[in-house]
């Protein structure tokens, strides 16, 4: 775990060491950071991801989730998931820490989606709202089942039923 300034490029490099699933020590290197703070943030998020610490941001956890899902579902299903997550879920929860998202936050997000109107004044259909919520539920179920996140049991998909 170290941060160095590259003398050739003038940019910051971050190095982090970890043990893979076989127990071998590996090094992860990322370069090209304009600020030292950016390199330190990357290193911190990388270590949280490797330690499976739920103190990571929602965006970092979604990266892990999508990497896992990409190998388990068909390409078209993966692209649909990716679109919904990038356009409807990440803009709202991106910078939040995973373990700090509450049921009240999810209800606010749902209310925002319900009240959304496009340029023609049309809202999202009930079926589409359920599909969006199912993607968020899948992400949190993944965190609960594999990473030990405390379940948000109060939040169920009843809010989108008209």
Q: Which candidate, 25, 20, 17, 132, places its Cα nearest to that of 80?
A: 132
d(CA 99, CA 67): 20
Q: How confident is the model at residue 118 (pLDDT cuts 50, 70, 90)?
A: confident
Domain 58-147: which CATH class?
Answer: mainly alpha
Does position 98 have pLDDT exceeding 90, yes or no?
A: no
The highest-confidence range among 39-43, 89-93, 153-157, by mean pLDDT, is: 89-93
Mean pLDDT of the chain: 83
* Predicted TM-score (pTM) above 0.75: no
């Amino acid at each position: 775990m170290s941060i160095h300034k590259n003398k050739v490029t003038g940019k910051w490099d971050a190095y982090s060491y970890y043990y893979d699933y076989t127990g071998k020590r590996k090094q992860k290197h990322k370069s090209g950071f304009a600020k030292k703070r950016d390199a330190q943030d990357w290193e911190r998020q990388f270590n949280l991801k490797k330690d499976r610490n739920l103190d990571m941001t929602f965006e970092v956890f979604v990266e892990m989730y999508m990497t896992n899902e990409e190998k388990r579902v068909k390409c078209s299903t993966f692209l649909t998931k990716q679109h919904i997550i990038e356009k409807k879920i990440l803009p709202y929860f991106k910078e939040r820490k995973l373990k700090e998202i509450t049921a009240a936050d999810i209800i606010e997000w749902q209310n925002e989606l319900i009240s959304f109107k496009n340029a023609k004044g049309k809202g999202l259909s009930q079926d589409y709202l359920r599909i969006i919520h199912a993607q968020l539920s899948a992400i949190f179920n993944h965190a609960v089942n594999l990473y030990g996140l405390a379940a948000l049991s109060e939040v169920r998909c009843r809010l989108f039923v008209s």
